[in-house]
Structure formats: C-alpha cells, structure tokens
C-alpha cells in the first residue's frame, strides 16, 4: 500500500458520495451485523472516562461517537470529523439534539484543532482510505493531550489459512451485494481492493511506532479480519 495518489483520493470521496444513504444498511449486510460487535469491543477497550473529550476521525455516520457518549453517560464531548459532507449529514441527523457533539468537515491529514486538546482520538474503518497515513498519525499525535490515547479499528490480515480462504471467497460476493442493494458494484470493488492493499496488523503496528507514540499494541478480532491498534501520547 502505502500511499494513495491523488486520483485515488478523489475516488475515495466519490465512493462515499455514491453509498452514503445505504452505508449503515450495507455495513450490517456485509458484516452480518458483526461490525456492531467489533465497535462495542473497540469502545470497551477504549474504556472512556466521564468528562473527557474525543475526536472521532473519519466518523462516517457516527457509530463510534454514539457508543462513546453512551459509555460516558453523555458526560463529555465529541468532535466528529469527516471529509464527506454527505456522511457527516447523516451523522448529524443521528446525533442531533446532543449539545456535546460538534461536526467538522475536514481532512484527517489536517485537523482543525489546537495541539494537546483531546483525551482520545478514534478512527474506525477510516485509516486505510487516507491519502498519507503518516500525516494522519502525526495529526493524531498533535491533537492528543500528553497521556491521551489513540485507538484505531481497521481491517487486517486473517491468520488462519482456512478462514482466510472462506473470507476471500465471501469477499468476492460483496460487489454483487452492492449492485443489488445500492445499484452499484464499483464502490464495493474499491472496498475489497482497499482491504487487500492495507498493511498487515504487524506492519501497521510498526508504522504507528515510528511516530512518537508509546505502549503501542494491537488485538485481533474475528481471527484477524479486523484489528484494534492502541497507542498513547507521552
Ligand atoms: C468506511 S467509513 C467509516 C465510518 C465510521 N467510522 C464507521 O466505522 O462506520 C470511512 C469514512 O472515512 C471518511 N474519510 C475518508 N478519507 C478521509 C480523510 N482523508 N479525512 C477524513 N475523512 C475521511 C469517508 O468519508 C467515510 O465517511
């Protein structure tokens, strides 16, 4: 992988413009609802405390922001960042009425926040879409307070060979499902390719370590279909 060129960045923007209104439905169908368990697991590992501040980058339709607010009993603040206006509009609609949420249409590589501001930085199924991942990691580090935590949920590499074969076969059916539900297979071909091209959990772990983060670690979920990466700012 490693760095997408400009055309691919435009492609990502177009992908989410094409699928935003069916994004939640497709997530449930493609993962057979399992993405909800992964996200719950993610928030449980984050274990956020009351009266804290989260920036949820590539926030999409707001699943992580919602889980965070539930976990802290709405005693804290979250800034949802996404470069897609369409995705952010759904996010806003789902979380409307909450005075503790703010929305920012912005790129993960250049966040509109001051240094040392947030207790937590989360990014769920977003990092592999970013043009320059190192820039995004640097921004994560910059906006976190000393002692703040970075947590990333992303597709990874399946470790068991048999499970991998089954998973690959299943993945091939996703574009057809997209064609049936959304009327387009292209965005889902992009999705499958972007998962294929993304780092293994071990390589991404090394990539995070190259920034200044400490206590970098990861956990596999569902045999490595996805992994959660955790790191701290000193
Ligand atoms: C697969 S969705 C994930 C949404 C949500 N976090 C979730 O877990 O369901 C990826 C999101 O990343 C956003 N995105 C892609 N590249 C981005 C970037 N460079 N900066 C900010 N958001 C980006 C897309 O617009 C999209 O909403």
Mean pLDDT, all residues of the chain: 94
The angle subtended at Cα 212 by Cα 209 and Cα 216, nearest 5°, is: 40
- Cα–Cα distance, 77 to 101 (Å, whole number): 6
pTM of the full structure: 0.94
- Testing ligand 1's pocket by substitution, the residue of 17, 21, 58 carrying the most ligand atoms inside 8 A of its CB is 58
Name which residue sits closest to atom 1 of ligand 1, judged by CA.
Answer: 125
- pLDDT tens track for 19-34: 999 999 999 999 999 9
pLDDT (mean) for 178-190: 92
Q: Which residues, judged by CB distance below 6 Å to any ligand atom, belong to the binding site of ligand 1? A: 12, 16, 58-60, 63-64, 81-84, 87, 107-109, 124-126, 129-130
Q: Which domains does the chain have, with CATH numbers?
A: 6-232 (3.40.50.150)
- Cα–Cα distance, 193 to 212 (Å, whole number): 30
- Testing ligand 1's pocket by substitution, the residue of 23, 40, 43, 83 carrying the most ligand atoms inside 8 A of its CB is 83
- Cα–Cα distance, 193 to 195 (Å, whole number): 5
Q: Report phi then psi at 176, rounded to 5.
A: -65, -40
- pLDDT tens track for 51-64: 999 999 999 999 99
52-81: burial string, b at 16+ Cβ within 10 Å, e else = bbbbbbbbbbbbbbbbbbebbeeebbbbbb
Whether residue 10 has pLDDT greater than 90: no
Is residue 205 within a helix (H) or strand (E), and if so which, with residue range? helix 201-210
| pLDDT in the model for residue 4 | 39
| pLDDT in the model for residue 18 | 85
Name the band, by pLDDT with cuts 50, 70 and 90, for residue 6: very low
Name the band, by pLDDT with cuts 50, 70 and 90, for residue 170: very high
Whether residue 12 has pLDDT greater than 90: no
Name which residue sits closest to atom 4 of ligand 1, judged by CA.
Answer: 60
């Amino acid at each position: 992988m490693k760095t997408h060129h400009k055309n691919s960045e435009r492609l990502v923007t177009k992908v989410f413009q094409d699928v935003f209104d069916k994004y939640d439905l497709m997530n449930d169908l493609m993962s057979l609802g399992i993405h909800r368990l992964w996200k719950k697991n993610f928030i449980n590992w984050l274990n956020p405390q009351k009266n804290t501040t989260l920036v949820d980058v590539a926030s999409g339709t707001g699943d992580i922001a919602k889980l965070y607010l539930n976990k802290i009993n709405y005693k804290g603040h979250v800034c949802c960042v996404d470069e897609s206006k369409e995705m952010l509009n759904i996010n806003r609609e789902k979380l409307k009425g909450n005075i503790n949420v703010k929305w920012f249409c912005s790129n993960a590589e250049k966040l509109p926040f001051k240094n040392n501001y947030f207790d937590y930085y989360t990014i769920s199924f977003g990092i592999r879409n970013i043009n320059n991942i190192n820039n995004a990691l640097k921004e994560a580090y910059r906006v976190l307070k000393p002692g703040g935590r970075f947590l990333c949920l992303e597709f990874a590499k399946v470790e068991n060979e048999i499970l991998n074969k089954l998973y690959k076969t299943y993945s091939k059916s996703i574009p057809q499902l997209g064609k049936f539900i959304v009327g387009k297979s292209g965005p889902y071909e992009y999705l499958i390719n972007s998962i294929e091209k993304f780092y293994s959990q071990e390589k991404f772990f090394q990539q995070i370590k190259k920034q200044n983060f400490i206590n970098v670690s990861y956990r596999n979920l569902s045999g490595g279909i996805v992994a959660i990466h955790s790191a701290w700012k000193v």
